[in-house]
Amino acid sequence: MNSIKKEFDSLVKSVEDKESLKQLKSSFVGKKGKITHFFKQMNGLPDVSKREFGRKINELKGYIEDEIRKKSQEIDKFVKQRALEQELIDISLPARINKFGAVHPITKTIIEIENIFQSLGFNVEIGPEIEYDKYNFEMLNIPKEHPARDMQDTFYVNDNVLLRTHTSPTQIRIMKDTPPPVMFVSPGKVYRRDSDITHSPMFHQIEGLLIDKNIRFSDLKGVLIQFLQMFFGDVPVRFRPSYFPFTEPSAEVDIGCIMCKGKGCRVCSHTGFLEVLGCGMVHPNVLANVEYGKEYNGFAFGLGIERFAMLKYGIDNIKLFFENDIRFLNQFSYMAGKTL
Ligand code: DAH
């Protein structure tokens, strides 16, 4: 029995997991275990010795079972300890910062302009970038021989289809499908064969149209002055007579130079003013082309979004909008503290 106890003591020391412990247990106190074997030997002994022998075996059995229970608890503790160590979070590691995307300055400017016009009651409409010649030119009262139709300015897909050169065809699309009154702005991409520091072959415009009864030039002025001052702040606004085939009368609108506050600088060519949009009362021919009744009239306007964004955010090269330089774009992120 002593040698069995020694054997057990040395074996139990080297056990490190539950499975080996189970095997050890069954080899000593299991059905075919060494201790169980002693019990079987007892039968042949005289009664007196039997009692003494039985007590000793039970003592040994109890000892082994106790040791196994202790060892089992030790293993549990060790396994738990190791799991905790492996799960340990190293709070000294630098955090992984979530990167927030930035709204592109063009998108941001479009949304700002849309919001202003929506607050004045205008809807937002979208027209296609691939357009019929008929809507881009003809129905806007731009006759066949007009210089704006020159191959040099327009990307043609075929004789009748082109990449729209302005957002004005949206006027035709909406009016031909919607009975008056209509009141909307329409942002989007436009294309022209032009490329230098202030021109890109693709750029963005917003078109505006308001048609109802008894609309006057003063309504146009009121809406555009309100819009420009909501967008640029408290700037002077002036209207100059101009010409567009689809409006009569037509005007171009200037604001006091943002850069020099009207004193005269390089940006405003020392005039103190910056031209920002074209507008006018919708030409009767255009209204007739979409079969609007003679009692309806209204005004339209169009502006270049890149120009608005450049002036508002002090950007001096139009190419910056299209190069996708993350250092430039990040300056328009929400994280930079600017909200839409
Ligand atoms: N479509 C003109 C352009 O691209 C801009 C414009 C001027 C639009 C006057 C208008 C308008 O609706 O009334 O240059």
171-193 pLDDT, tens digit each: 999 999 999 999 999 999 999 98
- Ligand 1: which of 141, 166, 189 to mutate, judged by most atoms within 8 Å of the beta carbon? 166
For ligand 1, whether the C-beta of 301 sits within 6 Å is: yes
- Label residue 138 exposed, middle or buried (CB < 10 Å: 0-12, 13-18, 19+): middle
Q: Whose CA is nearest to atom 3 of ligand 1?
A: 166
Rounded CA-CA distance 251/57 in Å is 115
> What percentage of residues in the chain have a pLDDT greater than 70?
97
Average pLDDT over residues 47-56: 84
For ligand 1, whether the C-beta of 170 sits within 6 Å is: no
Q: Which of 3-12, 65-74, 81-90, 264-273 has the lowest mean pLDDT?
A: 81-90
Residue 7 has pLDDT above 80, yes or no: yes
The residues, ordered by sequence, that sit 6+ positions from 63 with a Cβ below 8 Å of its Cβ are 5
pLDDT digits (tens, 9 = 90+) for 225-274: 999 999 999 999 999 999 999 999 999 999 999 888 989 998 889 999 99
The residues, ordered by sequence, that sit 6+ positions from 135 with a Cβ below 8 Å of its Cβ are 169, 172, 173
